[in-house]
Amino acid sequence: MRVTIFGATGLLGKALIPEWTQDEVIGLGSKDVDIREVALIRSAVERTCPDWIVNAAAYTDVDGCESNRELAFAVNHRGAVNVAEVAKAFGSRLLFLSTDYVFDGLATAPYETDHPRAPRSVYGKSKAQAEEEIGKRFPDACIVRTSWLFGVGGKCFPDTILKLAASRSEIDVVDDQRGSPTHAPDLAHAIISLCRAGARGIVHATNSGDCTWFEFAREIVKGAGLNTIIRSTTSDKFVRPAERPKYSVLSPRSLREYAITMPHWKAALGNYLAARHATPPVGYATQKHPS
């Protein structure tokens, strides 16, 4: 099987390339192909002749999307549809990465794949519109929603917490937002399995279990053997340009239909900490949301 990955230099893309060992895989970053340009996508697909296209390319700065709405929709909506159109024209299957931000965060039980979309941020709206158009025009596409992505080799919540803990004795973290942390290598394994299974439709893929950001931070510091105190606080103390979902746990039912399971987020965190210890982290910049 031949696979072309758009967004290969992102957090997920960096995990997909080394994990996808039994197929012919070509990874393309934003410097290789700007998905806003159909001609560039077409040229890349003509050159690589993929059976599957995985589109992990996105403008993921959630707060940045609020002040750059045009760019957010150009990349996350129009760009995603561009990739889908080229995939269909060349007879390639498509897997598109989406996000928990397509929901309003008001639920009290895990979101199923057919729950109505109700995004509350520009980022979520751009992804939701891409989902809707791809789902209607390309019913054979597979749309994979994930959440709280973390991993070695990019900006993510554990990396931020560990760097703050290195210089602070106490850190305040919100305790009123709940979701499922997802380790990039675990998501990569799920994506590979979905492609090999010929998956279609919407699938939710996260590590199992759920927690608040406060609970996640506490486990990060504990796992790293640090003494930094993690204090709980509320979202109203950390006002951000983009509204974050209060609850964005995704149901694993759709993933299990393909006989795929993902480890608990605490086990995934242990693997991340071990990998991070073996690979010195890169410099820190403003955190960006996954997918």
Length of the chain: 291
CB 188 within 8 A of CB 11: no
How far is 74 from 23, CA to CA, in rounded Å? 31
123 is catalytic: yes
- Radius of gyration, CA atoms only, the chain: 18
User: If residue 213 lies in a helix (H) or strand (E), which one and from where to where?
Assistant: helix 213-223
How far is 187 from 290, CA to CA, in rounded Å? 12
Say which of 123, 258, 272, 284 is annotated catalytic: 123
CB 119 within 8 A of CB 128: yes
Cite the active site residues: 123
